[in-house]
Amino acid sequence: MTSENGEAGEDGFWLYDLKVETVIGDRPPVCRHIPGESFRVEGENLVFEPGQKVSMYALAALLPLLPAKQRETSAHDWMTTDAEIACPDPHCGGRFRITRAGRRFFRHSETTGLPDKRGQPYWAGNKDEDTDP
Ligand SMILES: [Zn+2]
């Protein structure tokens, strides 16, 4: 178990895992949006279970928001309270519900590109040890 700020003297940060699930809004979908289909966001990775799909146009609308949803935000920030993102087609009822799940701890030295700060990349180690349920 890693403390809130990482191990003593450890330079790191927490990111939420996310679940992005297709839901339908107040009008029918135009694109292929199947309610209940989903993918997860774990660190920098999008994780799809077999058979799960997402429109590349919808994904393009979602991608800029995912890093912010991974991070701790103020309770009053709309990024905290607003969880559904609309498909970019204005005629489409497709929505994507983003929910925060467990958190993962990342060490700066394992994620930075700065040569003087760089260590072993996080993905080369065992990341399962640094997760909150
Ligand atoms: Zn759509």
pLDDT in tens, 3-44: 445 554 568 999 999 999 999 999 999 999 999 999 999 999
For residue 103, being part of any structural domain is answered with yes
For residue 4, being part of any structural domain is answered with no
CA distance 75 to 132: 20
User: Quick one: pLDDT at residue 22?
Assistant: 97
For residue 115, being part of any structural domain is answered with yes
Domain that holds residue 77: 12-120
For residue 111, being part of any structural domain is answered with yes
CA of 89 to the centre of ligand 1 (A): 5
CA of 36 to the centre of ligand 1 (A): 15
Tally of CB atoms within 10 A around 104: 20
CA of 73 to the centre of ligand 1 (A): 28
CA of 32 to the centre of ligand 1 (A): 7
CA of 132 to the centre of ligand 1 (A): 33
CA of 6 to the centre of ligand 1 (A): 40
Whole-prediction pTM value? 0.83
CA of 33 to the centre of ligand 1 (A): 6
Domain count, the chain: 1
Task: Read off φ and ψ for residue 100, nearest 5 degrees.
Answer: -85, 140
CA of 90 to the centre of ligand 1 (A): 8
CA of 62 to the centre of ligand 1 (A): 12
Higher pLDDT pick, 76 / 114 = 76
Q: Which pLDDT tens digit goes with each residue over 80-123? A: 999 999 999 999 999 999 999 999 999 988 888 888 888 888 88
Tally of CB atoms within 10 A around 32: 12
Q: Which of 41, 43, 25, 42 is nearest to 33 (CA)?
A: 25
Q: Spell out where the chain has E strands.
A: 12-24, 38-42, 45-47, 84-86, 94-107
User: Quick one: pLDDT at residue 133?
Assistant: 54
For residue 51, being part of any structural domain is answered with yes
For residue 131, being part of any structural domain is answered with no
